Amino acid sequence: MKGTVVALDEVNGRKAAALIVDGRLEDFLIDAVEDAGPVPGAIYRGICDRPMKGQGGMFLSLGDGKGYLRGAKGLAPGQPLLVQVTGWAEQGKAPGVTQKVLFKSRYAIVTPEAPGINLSRSIRDEEMRVELLDVAHEIMEGAAHGLIVRSQAAEADLAEVAEDIAEMRSLADAVTGDANGKIPELLVDGPDAHLLAWRDWPTPEVFADEPGSFDAHGVTEMISTVLGAKQPLEGGSFAYIEPTRALTAVDVNTGSDSSPAAGLKANIALARDLPRLLRCRGLGGQITLDLAPMPKKDRHPFEQVLRAAFKKDSVDTVLAGWTPLGHFELQRKRDRLTVTL
Protein backbone atom coordinates (compact mmCIF):
# COMPACT_ATOMS: atom_id res chain seq x y z
CA MET A 1 0.00 0.00 0.00
CA LYS A 2 1.34 3.41 -0.97
CA GLY A 3 1.19 6.31 1.45
CA THR A 4 1.56 6.75 5.20
CA VAL A 5 -0.41 4.93 7.88
CA VAL A 6 -0.32 5.55 11.63
CA ALA A 7 -1.91 2.72 13.61
CA LEU A 8 -2.57 2.85 17.35
CA ASP A 9 -3.40 -0.31 19.28
CA GLU A 10 -2.36 -2.38 22.28
CA VAL A 11 0.03 -5.31 22.50
CA ASN A 12 -0.28 -7.53 25.58
CA GLY A 13 -2.07 -4.72 27.40
CA ARG A 14 0.58 -2.10 26.54
CA LYS A 15 -0.13 0.90 24.31
CA ALA A 16 1.71 0.68 20.98
CA ALA A 17 1.97 2.74 17.79
CA ALA A 18 3.20 1.87 14.31
CA LEU A 19 4.26 4.17 11.46
CA ILE A 20 3.98 2.51 8.04
CA VAL A 21 5.31 4.16 4.89
CA ASP A 22 4.54 2.56 1.52
CA GLY A 23 3.79 -0.78 3.15
CA ARG A 24 6.97 -0.91 5.29
CA LEU A 25 7.25 -0.47 9.05
CA GLU A 26 9.25 2.75 9.58
CA ASP A 27 8.84 3.19 13.32
CA PHE A 28 7.35 1.34 16.24
CA LEU A 29 6.65 2.53 19.79
CA ILE A 30 5.44 0.51 22.75
CA ASP A 31 4.98 1.36 26.42
CA ALA A 32 7.42 -0.14 28.86
CA VAL A 33 6.43 -2.91 31.20
CA GLU A 34 5.48 -1.93 34.74
CA ASP A 35 8.32 -0.99 37.10
CA ALA A 36 10.71 -0.25 34.23
CA GLY A 37 11.75 2.98 35.96
CA PRO A 38 11.27 6.69 35.27
CA VAL A 39 9.99 7.34 31.74
CA PRO A 40 12.06 9.59 29.44
CA GLY A 41 10.44 13.02 29.26
CA ALA A 42 8.99 12.82 32.78
CA ILE A 43 9.56 15.93 34.88
CA TYR A 44 10.38 15.66 38.58
CA ARG A 45 11.08 17.80 41.54
CA GLY A 46 14.26 16.01 42.53
CA ILE A 47 16.12 16.36 45.82
CA CYS A 48 19.93 16.26 45.71
CA ASP A 49 21.07 13.16 47.55
CA ARG A 50 24.81 12.57 47.30
CA PRO A 51 27.56 13.80 45.00
CA MET A 52 29.76 11.51 42.95
CA LYS A 53 33.22 12.59 44.02
CA GLY A 54 35.69 12.97 41.19
CA GLN A 55 32.97 12.80 38.52
CA GLY A 56 31.17 16.10 39.08
CA GLY A 57 27.76 14.42 39.20
CA MET A 58 24.96 14.19 41.73
CA PHE A 59 22.48 11.45 42.57
CA LEU A 60 18.95 12.80 43.08
CA SER A 61 15.98 11.26 44.82
CA LEU A 62 12.97 11.33 42.47
CA GLY A 63 10.47 9.78 44.85
CA ASP A 64 9.98 6.62 42.79
CA GLY A 65 13.68 6.02 42.21
CA LYS A 66 17.02 7.71 41.71
CA GLY A 67 18.34 9.94 38.93
CA TYR A 68 21.86 10.99 37.97
CA LEU A 69 22.72 14.57 37.04
CA ARG A 70 26.00 15.39 35.31
CA GLY A 71 27.72 18.73 35.81
CA ALA A 72 26.33 19.20 39.32
CA LYS A 73 29.01 21.60 40.55
CA GLY A 74 27.80 23.89 43.34
CA LEU A 75 24.83 21.75 44.34
CA ALA A 76 24.34 20.58 47.92
CA PRO A 77 22.51 17.57 49.39
CA GLY A 78 18.90 18.42 50.21
CA GLN A 79 18.61 21.05 47.48
CA PRO A 80 15.46 20.78 45.30
CA LEU A 81 15.86 20.80 41.51
CA LEU A 82 13.46 20.69 38.59
CA VAL A 83 14.77 17.92 36.31
CA GLN A 84 13.66 15.90 33.29
CA VAL A 85 14.53 12.27 32.53
CA THR A 86 16.65 12.04 29.37
CA GLY A 87 16.66 8.31 28.65
CA TRP A 88 16.15 4.80 29.95
CA ALA A 89 18.71 3.50 32.42
CA GLU A 90 20.76 0.38 31.94
CA GLN A 91 19.87 -2.36 34.40
CA GLY A 92 21.08 -1.50 37.89
CA LYS A 93 21.86 2.14 37.04
CA ALA A 94 20.04 5.41 37.67
CA PRO A 95 18.58 7.17 34.60
CA GLY A 96 20.18 10.40 33.44
CA VAL A 97 18.37 13.65 34.17
CA THR A 98 18.89 17.23 33.03
CA GLN A 99 18.01 20.66 34.38
CA LYS A 100 17.23 21.83 30.82
CA VAL A 101 13.54 21.02 31.07
CA LEU A 102 11.38 21.12 27.91
CA PHE A 103 7.58 21.15 27.69
CA LYS A 104 7.05 19.53 24.32
CA SER A 105 3.87 19.11 22.29
CA ARG A 106 3.01 18.61 18.61
CA TYR A 107 3.34 22.24 17.59
CA ALA A 108 5.31 23.88 20.37
CA ILE A 109 8.22 23.43 22.77
CA VAL A 110 8.28 25.77 25.78
CA THR A 111 11.77 26.31 27.20
CA PRO A 112 11.93 27.62 30.79
CA GLU A 113 14.91 29.90 31.52
CA ALA A 114 15.74 30.05 27.80
CA PRO A 115 13.87 33.14 26.58
CA GLY A 116 13.20 33.99 22.97
CA ILE A 117 10.76 32.83 20.29
CA ASN A 118 12.07 30.73 17.42
CA LEU A 119 10.58 28.90 14.46
CA SER A 120 11.74 25.59 13.03
CA ARG A 121 14.16 26.17 10.14
CA SER A 122 12.14 23.79 7.99
CA ILE A 123 9.29 26.34 7.89
CA ARG A 124 10.41 28.32 4.83
CA ASP A 125 7.21 30.02 3.68
CA GLU A 126 7.68 33.66 4.71
CA GLU A 127 3.98 34.42 5.01
CA MET A 128 3.47 31.40 7.24
CA ARG A 129 6.48 32.36 9.36
CA VAL A 130 5.03 35.82 9.95
CA GLU A 131 1.62 34.41 10.91
CA LEU A 132 3.14 31.86 13.30
CA LEU A 133 5.36 34.49 14.92
CA ASP A 134 2.36 36.76 15.46
CA VAL A 135 0.48 33.93 17.18
CA ALA A 136 3.51 32.96 19.25
CA HIS A 137 4.21 36.50 20.47
CA GLU A 138 0.56 37.02 21.38
CA ILE A 139 0.33 33.84 23.47
CA MET A 140 3.78 34.17 25.08
CA GLU A 141 3.54 37.87 25.93
CA GLY A 142 4.87 38.45 29.43
CA ALA A 143 6.12 34.87 29.84
CA ALA A 144 9.47 34.12 31.44
CA HIS A 145 9.87 31.11 29.17
CA GLY A 146 11.10 30.75 25.62
CA LEU A 147 9.29 29.02 22.76
CA ILE A 148 10.17 26.93 19.72
CA VAL A 149 7.44 26.53 17.11
CA ARG A 150 7.82 23.08 15.54
CA SER A 151 7.70 22.24 11.84
CA GLN A 152 4.27 20.53 12.13
CA ALA A 153 2.74 23.92 12.91
CA ALA A 154 3.15 24.95 9.26
CA GLU A 155 0.48 22.40 8.26
CA ALA A 156 -1.94 23.12 11.11
CA ASP A 157 -4.76 25.56 11.69
CA LEU A 158 -3.47 28.67 13.46
CA ALA A 159 -6.14 28.33 16.15
CA GLU A 160 -4.87 24.80 16.95
CA VAL A 161 -1.30 26.10 17.14
CA ALA A 162 -2.35 28.92 19.46
CA GLU A 163 -4.21 26.48 21.73
CA ASP A 164 -1.21 24.14 21.84
CA ILE A 165 1.19 26.96 22.73
CA ALA A 166 -1.18 28.23 25.44
CA GLU A 167 -1.46 24.74 26.98
CA MET A 168 2.31 24.29 27.08
CA ARG A 169 2.80 27.76 28.58
CA SER A 170 0.21 27.04 31.30
CA LEU A 171 1.86 23.70 32.08
CA ALA A 172 5.30 25.31 32.25
CA ASP A 173 4.00 28.05 34.56
CA ALA A 174 2.39 25.51 36.89
CA VAL A 175 5.37 23.17 37.05
CA THR A 176 8.08 25.80 37.47
CA GLY A 177 5.97 27.42 40.19
CA ASP A 178 5.98 24.10 42.06
CA ALA A 179 9.70 23.42 41.73
CA ASN A 180 10.86 24.39 45.21
CA GLY A 181 9.04 21.90 47.40
CA LYS A 182 10.85 19.91 50.07
CA ILE A 183 10.01 16.38 48.93
CA PRO A 184 10.75 14.61 45.63
CA GLU A 185 7.72 14.30 43.38
CA LEU A 186 6.69 13.39 39.85
CA LEU A 187 5.23 16.59 38.36
CA VAL A 188 4.61 15.58 34.72
CA ASP A 189 4.30 11.99 33.45
CA GLY A 190 6.50 10.88 30.57
CA PRO A 191 4.60 10.42 27.28
CA ASP A 192 3.15 7.03 26.38
CA ALA A 193 3.39 5.45 22.91
CA HIS A 194 0.16 6.98 21.61
CA LEU A 195 1.11 10.49 22.76
CA LEU A 196 4.58 10.18 21.25
CA ALA A 197 3.10 9.11 17.92
CA TRP A 198 0.73 12.11 17.88
CA ARG A 199 3.47 14.47 19.00
CA ASP A 200 6.37 13.44 16.79
CA TRP A 201 5.12 11.66 13.68
CA PRO A 202 3.94 13.43 10.52
CA THR A 203 0.25 13.66 9.62
CA PRO A 204 -0.62 10.40 7.79
CA GLU A 205 -2.97 9.67 4.91
CA VAL A 206 -4.59 6.98 7.09
CA PHE A 207 -5.01 7.22 10.86
CA ALA A 208 -6.27 4.03 12.51
CA ASP A 209 -6.92 4.00 16.25
CA GLU A 210 -9.71 1.45 16.54
CA PRO A 211 -9.09 -1.85 18.40
CA GLY A 212 -7.55 -4.41 16.05
CA SER A 213 -5.90 -1.79 13.83
CA PHE A 214 -2.56 -3.64 13.98
CA ASP A 215 -4.05 -6.80 12.50
CA ALA A 216 -6.06 -4.80 9.95
CA HIS A 217 -2.93 -3.10 8.59
CA GLY A 218 -0.51 -6.03 8.90
CA VAL A 219 1.45 -4.46 11.76
CA THR A 220 1.57 -7.64 13.83
CA GLU A 221 3.35 -9.51 11.03
CA MET A 222 5.69 -6.56 10.35
CA ILE A 223 6.71 -6.42 14.01
CA SER A 224 7.40 -10.16 14.08
CA THR A 225 9.61 -9.77 10.99
CA VAL A 226 11.61 -6.78 12.23
CA LEU A 227 12.27 -8.46 15.59
CA GLY A 228 13.88 -11.48 13.93
CA ALA A 229 17.66 -11.87 14.07
CA LYS A 230 18.03 -12.22 10.26
CA GLN A 231 17.03 -9.12 8.31
CA PRO A 232 16.90 -9.03 4.48
CA LEU A 233 18.65 -6.10 2.79
CA GLU A 234 18.33 -4.57 -0.65
CA GLY A 235 20.03 -6.53 -3.43
CA GLY A 236 19.73 -9.95 -1.81
CA SER A 237 22.18 -9.41 1.06
CA PHE A 238 21.16 -9.75 4.70
CA ALA A 239 22.23 -8.88 8.23
CA TYR A 240 22.00 -10.55 11.64
CA ILE A 241 21.13 -8.15 14.48
CA GLU A 242 21.75 -9.66 17.91
CA PRO A 243 21.55 -7.63 21.15
CA THR A 244 23.67 -8.69 24.13
CA ARG A 245 24.05 -7.16 27.60
CA ALA A 246 27.18 -5.28 26.55
CA LEU A 247 26.35 -4.22 23.00
CA THR A 248 24.34 -4.94 19.88
CA ALA A 249 26.23 -6.92 17.24
CA VAL A 250 25.34 -6.51 13.56
CA ASP A 251 26.82 -9.00 11.09
CA VAL A 252 26.53 -8.29 7.34
CA ASN A 253 26.43 -11.04 4.71
CA THR A 254 26.57 -10.67 0.93
CA GLY A 255 24.24 -13.61 0.32
CA SER A 256 24.60 -15.20 -3.12
CA ASP A 257 26.38 -12.17 -4.65
CA SER A 258 30.02 -13.07 -5.41
CA SER A 259 30.95 -10.03 -7.52
CA PRO A 260 34.00 -7.90 -6.59
CA ALA A 261 31.76 -5.11 -5.28
CA ALA A 262 29.48 -7.45 -3.29
CA GLY A 263 30.87 -6.35 0.09
CA LEU A 264 30.45 -2.64 -0.57
CA LYS A 265 26.92 -3.13 -1.94
CA ALA A 266 25.86 -5.16 1.10
CA ASN A 267 27.40 -2.69 3.54
CA ILE A 268 25.74 0.28 1.86
CA ALA A 269 22.40 -1.56 1.90
CA LEU A 270 22.83 -2.03 5.65
CA ALA A 271 23.82 1.63 6.14
CA ARG A 272 20.62 2.81 4.46
CA ASP A 273 18.34 0.55 6.50
CA LEU A 274 20.16 0.43 9.85
CA PRO A 275 18.48 3.49 11.46
CA ARG A 276 15.03 2.02 10.75
CA LEU A 277 15.96 -1.43 12.06
CA LEU A 278 17.44 -0.03 15.30
CA ARG A 279 14.56 2.42 15.74
CA CYS A 280 11.82 -0.20 15.32
CA ARG A 281 13.52 -2.53 17.79
CA GLY A 282 14.29 0.21 20.33
CA LEU A 283 18.00 -0.63 20.33
CA GLY A 284 20.48 1.80 21.86
CA GLY A 285 23.85 1.89 23.59
CA GLN A 286 26.89 0.47 21.82
CA ILE A 287 26.36 -0.91 18.31
CA THR A 288 29.18 -2.84 16.62
CA LEU A 289 29.02 -3.54 12.87
CA ASP A 290 30.88 -6.59 11.56
CA LEU A 291 30.72 -5.58 7.92
CA ALA A 292 31.12 -7.66 4.78
CA PRO A 293 34.71 -7.66 3.45
CA MET A 294 35.54 -4.60 1.33
CA PRO A 295 38.75 -2.70 0.43
CA LYS A 296 39.79 0.15 2.75
CA LYS A 297 39.27 2.59 -0.12
CA ASP A 298 35.54 1.81 0.07
CA ARG A 299 35.25 2.83 3.70
CA HIS A 300 34.72 6.51 2.86
CA PRO A 301 31.64 6.02 0.61
CA PHE A 302 30.19 3.63 3.21
CA GLU A 303 30.63 6.25 5.95
CA GLN A 304 29.00 8.91 3.75
CA VAL A 305 25.89 6.79 3.26
CA LEU A 306 25.77 5.85 6.95
CA ARG A 307 26.12 9.47 8.07
CA ALA A 308 23.36 10.61 5.69
CA ALA A 309 21.05 7.84 6.91
CA PHE A 310 21.45 8.70 10.60
CA LYS A 311 21.13 12.44 9.92
CA LYS A 312 17.44 11.80 9.15
CA ASP A 313 16.95 9.64 12.24
CA SER A 314 15.13 10.93 15.32
CA VAL A 315 17.44 9.22 17.84
CA ASP A 316 20.80 10.82 18.66
CA THR A 317 23.58 8.57 17.34
CA VAL A 318 27.34 9.11 17.42
CA LEU A 319 29.39 7.42 14.68
CA ALA A 320 32.47 6.44 16.69
CA GLY A 321 34.45 4.99 13.76
CA TRP A 322 36.61 2.02 12.91
CA THR A 323 38.27 -0.41 15.31
CA PRO A 324 41.69 -2.04 14.73
CA LEU A 325 39.86 -5.24 13.73
CA GLY A 326 37.92 -3.43 11.02
CA HIS A 327 34.58 -3.19 12.80
CA PHE A 328 32.58 0.04 12.80
CA GLU A 329 31.15 1.29 16.10
CA LEU A 330 28.22 3.56 16.96
CA GLN A 331 26.89 4.94 20.24
CA ARG A 332 23.13 5.44 20.32
CA LYS A 333 21.02 7.25 22.93
CA ARG A 334 18.81 4.97 25.02
CA ASP A 335 15.60 6.97 24.72
CA ARG A 336 13.65 3.74 24.16
CA LEU A 337 13.67 0.33 25.76
CA THR A 338 14.50 -2.70 23.66
CA VAL A 339 11.22 -4.01 22.22
CA THR A 340 10.09 -7.25 23.79
CA LEU A 341 6.60 -8.62 23.24
Average of per-residue pLDDT values in the chain: 94
101-121, pLDDT tens digit by residue? 999 999 999 999 889 999 999
Mean pLDDT of all residues in 166-184: 94
Amino acid 251: pLDDT: 98
What band does 71 get if pLDDT is binned at 50, 70 and 90? Answer: confident
- Tell me if 283 sits within 8 A of 323, measured CB to CB: no
- Topology of 227-332 in CATH? Aminopeptidase (3.40.630)
CA distance linking residue 239 with residue 270, whole number of Å: 7
**Class of 43-98 per CATH?**
mainly beta
Average pLDDT over residues 148-153: 96
Q: What's the CA gap between 229 and 251, in Å, rounded?
A: 10
Please determine, for residue 341, whether its predicted confidence score (pLDDT) is greater than 80: no
Query: With contact defined as beta carbons under 8 Å apart, do 330 and 317 qualify?
Result: yes
Please say if the pLDDT value at position 230 is more than 80: yes
Mean pLDDT of 83-99: 90
Question: Cβ(67)–Cβ(44) under 8 Å?
Answer: yes
Rounded Cα distance, 26 and 283, in Å: 14
More confident residue, 1 or 263: 263
pLDDT of residue 199: 96
Q: What is the pLDDT of residues 258-272, one digit of tens each?
A: 898 999 999 999 999
The predicted-structure confidence for 185-227, as pLDDT tens digits, reads as follows 999 999 999 999 999 999 999 999 999 999 999 999 999 999 9
Predicted structure pTM score: 0.91
Find out whether 3 and 209 touch, Cβ atoms under 8 Å.
no
Percent of the chain with pLDDT over 70: 100
CA distance 242 to 290: 12
Structural domain spans, the chain: 4-31+199-219, 43-98, 103-177, 227-332
Residue 92, pLDDT above cutoff 80:
no
Q: What is the average pLDDT across 131-157?
A: 96
CA atoms within 13 A on the CB side of 138: 11
Phi-psi sector, 295: left (phi>0), alpha (psi -120 to 50), beta: beta
